[in-house]
């Protein structure tokens, strides 16, 4: 056993050492990304000012398709409704997928930036502002920068690039739509896949890990049924508001008393809707929420617990059984241990050990996992977007906080954020392509 362990460690060290790219190649990538930045900045600010929500990314997809066509990629549009697939073949070698997302969020931007979005769209039947408050505009600019870098460096690699721009990531539906539309049947199935996500880290830094790096997500949709009546005579009614209130409190015991405390799991109720005025007991109340987890076992336990507590809350009040819908969302992204180890060596070599570090999994969800779960060794990593001084201040006790993803004040610093994204992704992809 001891000899086997030593051999494994030596093998990993050897693999990591051989994975590092020569300094001239790193310098070449950096030089190219710096030179193309004025183009990337123009594209980024245009995308930021003109966001579109899930499955409505027509303008966005058209812009990305046009830019990729100019770079020499063979582009196919309308894959999975509004998705695009851009393929560049360059001899015999591995096939590598690089994904970006295109959709914004139905919310108002409050950054005050000169290129801030004032776009609007119809979301869930109502008009809403739209903004890229999750950083998908940074991702798209980095994606284009990577594509151009690799296209310009064709003499230094062999293989096939499959760059996909996915719709509807925010509603964890776009990856499925593209797969259902034949993504891995109509186009080359990748040997490796990469995606990145902007994160409130210092720009110039890269975060990553192996194993789970995002959470499973499931939506809660429950209608508690009662019998309406006058607020002054509650005994003549069955009050669904008190049933819903009991559920909201009691469901947390599933997390605190049934789940292994060492395992991650969250149940959040984000919306309660019922009633019209203070002196009328309504007939029903709708409760909406989300369930997040990493492991399949915890996911199953939380789903069972939510359903059980909902039914018990109604039964305790002598009310009809509620309508309980637990809707499956994105599965956890599980990074390939071998691919992360191979890429980690390159990131540390390129950015330095202090700026390329392992980090805990995020509690948010992502449907990039659907591509991973097709049997593709993959790596999902994070790149920073904020001034290092602002990040340091936020980490200080009592310091000024920085806006997190999905905040109306989320405002990445464009140039260093986009450059880091393009450089990191170019390094990761070149490290697995043939040479």
- Interval 19-40: pLDDT, tens: 445 567 899 999 999 999 999 9
Percent residues over pLDDT 70 in the chain? 95
Determine the Cα–Cα distance for residues 428 and 20; give it in Å rounded to an integer: 10
Lowest mean pLDDT among 12-16, 155-159, 339-343: 12-16
Q: Which residues contact 371 (CB under 8 A, 6 or more apart)?
A: 97, 99, 175, 179, 193, 378
Average pLDDT of 45-55? 98
The rounded distance, in Å, linking the Cα atoms of 191 and 180 is 20
What pLDDT digit, counting tens, does each position of 208-239 carry? 999 999 999 999 999 999 999 999 999 999 99
Q: Which residue has the tokens 């499973």?
A: 216
Q: Residue 418: what are its φ and ψ, rounded to 5°? A: -70, -40
Residue with tokens 């987890």: 293
Residue 168 near residue 140 (C-beta atoms within 8 A): no
Residue 1 predicted with pLDDT over 50: no
pTM: 0.88
pLDDT at 11: 35
């Amino acid at each position: 056993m001891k000899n086997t362990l030593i051999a494994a460690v030596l093998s990993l060290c050897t693999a990591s050492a051989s994975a590092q790219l020569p300094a001239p190649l790193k310098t070449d990538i950096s030089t190219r990304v710096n030179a193309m930045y004025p183009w990337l900045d123009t594209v980024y600010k245009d995308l930021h000012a003109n966001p579109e929500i899930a499955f409505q990314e027509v303008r966005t997809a058209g812009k990305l398709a046009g830019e990729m066509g100019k770079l020499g990629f063979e582009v196919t549009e309308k894959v999975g409704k509004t998705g695009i697939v851009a393929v560049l073949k360059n001899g015999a070698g591995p096939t590598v997928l690089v994904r970006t997302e295109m959709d914004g969020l139905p919310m108002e931007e409050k950054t005050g930036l000169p290129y801030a979005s004032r776009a609007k769209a119809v979301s869930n039947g109502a008009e809403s502002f739209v903004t890229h408050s999750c950083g998908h505009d940074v991702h798209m600019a980095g994606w284009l920068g990577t594509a151009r870098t690799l296209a310009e460096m064709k003499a230094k690699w062999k293989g096939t690039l499959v760059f996909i721009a996915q719709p509807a990531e925010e509603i964890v539906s776009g990856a499925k739509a593209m797969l259902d539309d034949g993504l891995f049947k109509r186009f080359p199935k990748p040997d490796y896949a990469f995606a990145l996500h902007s994160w409130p880290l210092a720009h110039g830094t890269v975060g990553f890990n192996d194993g789970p790096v995002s959470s499973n997500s499931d939506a809660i949709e429950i209608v508690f049924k009662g019998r309406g009546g006058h607020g002054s005579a509650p005994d003549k009614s069955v009050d669904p508001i008190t049933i819903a209130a009991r559920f909201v409190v009691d469901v947390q015991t599933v997390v605190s008393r049934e789940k292994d405390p060492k395992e991650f799991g969250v149940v959040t109720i984000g919306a309660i809707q019922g009633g019209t005025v203070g002196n009328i007991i309504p007939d029903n109340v709708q409760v909406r929420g989300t369930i997040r987890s990493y492991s399949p076992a915890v996911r199953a336990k939380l789903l069972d617990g939510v359903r059980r507590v909902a039914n018990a809350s109604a039964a305790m009040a002598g009310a009809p059984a509620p309508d309980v819908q637990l809707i499956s969302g994105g599965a956890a992204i599980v990074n390939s241990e071998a691919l992360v180890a191979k890429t980690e060596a390159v990131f540390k070599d390129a950015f330095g050990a202090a700026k390329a570090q392992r980090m805990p999994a995020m509690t948010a969800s992502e449907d990039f996992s659907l591509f991973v779960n097709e049997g593709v060794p993959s790596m999902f990593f994070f790149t920073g977007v904020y001034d290092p001084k602002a990040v340091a201040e936020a980490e200080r006790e009592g310091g000024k906080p920085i806006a997190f993803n999905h905040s109306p004040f989320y405002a990445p610093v464009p140039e260093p954020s986009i450059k880091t994204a393009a450089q990191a992704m170019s390094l990761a992809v070149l490290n697995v392509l043939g040479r």
